[in-house]
Amino acid sequence: MNRRILTATLALGLLVATQSHANEPVDNAAVVEMVKLGLDEGVIAAKIESSRTRFDTSPKALGELKKAGVPASLVQKMVQAGTASSGPVARTSDSSRQSLAWRNATGEEVNISPVRVTAEVSNRRRWIPVAGAFLNSETFMTVQGSKARVRTDGQPSFVTSVDPLKVRLLHMADNKDGGRYVVFDGNSSDREINVVSEELGGGHYLIKPEKPLQAGQEYAFIVSPELPSGMGFWAYFMQPGIAAVAYDFGVQ
């Protein structure tokens, strides 16, 4: 009888220990360990998606993950997962935890949903005789869709949880395919619009264009990501499977 009790007790203890280990959140060290063990990327990605997570996605930590040989696709999964506090949940991207809304004349805040932005490098200027050899490549940033859903007045104010230092307001041009784009020469664009901002408290900010915007035109706030150490802004978006996020609007 005592032997049966002892066996049952040991089994229960093993079960509790196993469940406790299984419930531990997946962190940066765990991902690095799985990569070093040679596990398939799909297996590691599935583990991230089905587990509680506690990831450090600061620029320094992302740089350390790169040095440790963690593939860019898994780093993206980690950034998307963020930090969860309870069991397996549906994952959302970092951009979904950010917010930006237009504050209209009545004080109502109209939420602007984020849209995807892609980057493409063009060397077209290199074909210019003689001068082309001294010109930089251009980066075309394209926003999906031909027009934004939210339409504002010409002097709009925006409330956002995004640090104003990480957003850039741009006047979008139309392309022949019905989309919207802006061209960067290096890290600058002649379509960037200066803004002023003030802190509202509680992690929120008020952002306004310095000058009135043009009626009938399309605009977008492009959000800068947290970059791994030593990686440039546009170079980051040229990595496979990575894209910027924009909050787009049009002026009535």
Most confident of 18-32, 95-109, 231-245: 95-109
100-104: Cβ within 8 A, 24+ apart: 100/158, 100/159, 100/160, 100/161, 100/162, 100/167, 100/221, 100/247, 101/158, 101/159, 101/160, 102/150, 102/152, 102/156, 102/157, 102/158, 102/249, 103/156, 103/157, 103/158, 103/159, 103/206, 104/152, 104/153
Q: Are residues 66 and 134 in the same domain?
A: no
> Which of 44, 73, 90 finishes a domain?
90
Q: Are residues 139 and 65 in the same domain?
A: no
Most confident of 64-78, 135-149, 174-188: 64-78
Average pLDDT over residues 115-119: 84
pLDDT classification of 17: cutoffs 50, 70, 90:
very low
Instruction: Indicate if the pLDDT at residue 220 is higher than 90.
Output: yes
Give the total number of structural domains in the chain.
Answer: 2
Q: Are residues 174 and 120 in the same domain?
A: yes
Q: Are residues 239 and 148 in the same domain?
A: yes
> Which of 59, 90, 121 finishes a domain?
90
Q: Are residues 86 and 101 in the same domain?
A: no
Q: Are residues 241 and 138 in the same domain?
A: yes
Q: Are residues 182 and 204 in the same domain?
A: yes
Q: Are residues 81 and 108 in the same domain?
A: no
Instruction: Indicate if the pLDDT at residue 84 is higher than 80.
Output: no
Domain enclosing residue 121, as ranges: 95-251
Q: Are residues 37 and 84 in the same domain?
A: yes
| pTM beyond 0.75, yes or no | no
> Which of 45, 70, 90 finishes a domain?
90
Q: Are residues 106 and 149 in the same domain?
A: yes
pLDDT classification of 128: cutoffs 50, 70, 90:
low
Q: What is the pLDDT of residue 97?
A: 63
Q: Kindly state the percentage of the chain with pLDDT values over 90.
A: 35
Instruction: Indicate if the pLDDT at residue 111 is higher than 90.
Output: yes
Q: What is the pLDDT of residue 135?
A: 60
Most confident of 17-21, 74-78, 180-184, 241-245: 180-184
pLDDT in tens, 149-192: 999 999 999 999 999 988 999 999 998 777 899 998 877 899 99
Spatial separation of the C-alpha atoms in residues 152 and 250, rounded to whole Å = 6
Pairing of strands 26-27, 53-54: parallel
Q: Are residues 59 and 111 in the same domain?
A: no
pLDDT classification of 79: cutoffs 50, 70, 90:
confident
Q: Which residue has the higher pLDDT, 240 or 204?
A: 204
Q: Are residues 123 and 237 in the same domain?
A: yes
Q: What is the pLDDT of residue 194?
A: 96
